[in-house]
Amino acid sequence: MPYRPTAKTQARRTERRSALLKTALAIVTCEGFQALTINRLAKEAGIATGTIYKYFESKAQLCSEVFRLATEKEVEKVRAASFPEQPAHCRKRLANAVTTFAERAILGGRLAYALIAEPVNPMVEQERLTYRRAYADIFEQLIEEAVTKKQFPPQTAHVSAAALVGILSEALVAPLARGIPITDHNNLVKAIKQFCLRAVAG
Q: Supply the CATH number for residue 120's domain.
A: 1.10.357.10
Residue 2 within any structural domain of the chain: no
At 23-50, the pLDDT tens digits run: 999 999 999 999 999 999 999 999 999 9
* Conformational region of residue 179, where left means phi above 0, alpha means psi within -120 to 50, and beta covers everything else: left
Q: Does 180 fall in a domain? A: yes
Residue 167 resides in a domain? yes
Cα(67)–Cα(97) distance, rounded to whole angstroms?
21
Domain count, the chain: 1
What pLDDT, in 10s, does the model give residues 156-190? 999 999 999 999 999 999 999 888 776 688 999 99
- Neighbouring residues of 31: CB distance < 8 A, sequence distance ≥ 6: 110
pTM of the model: 0.89
Residue 161 CA to residue 155 CA, distance in Å, equals: 10
Structural domain including 77 reads 7-200
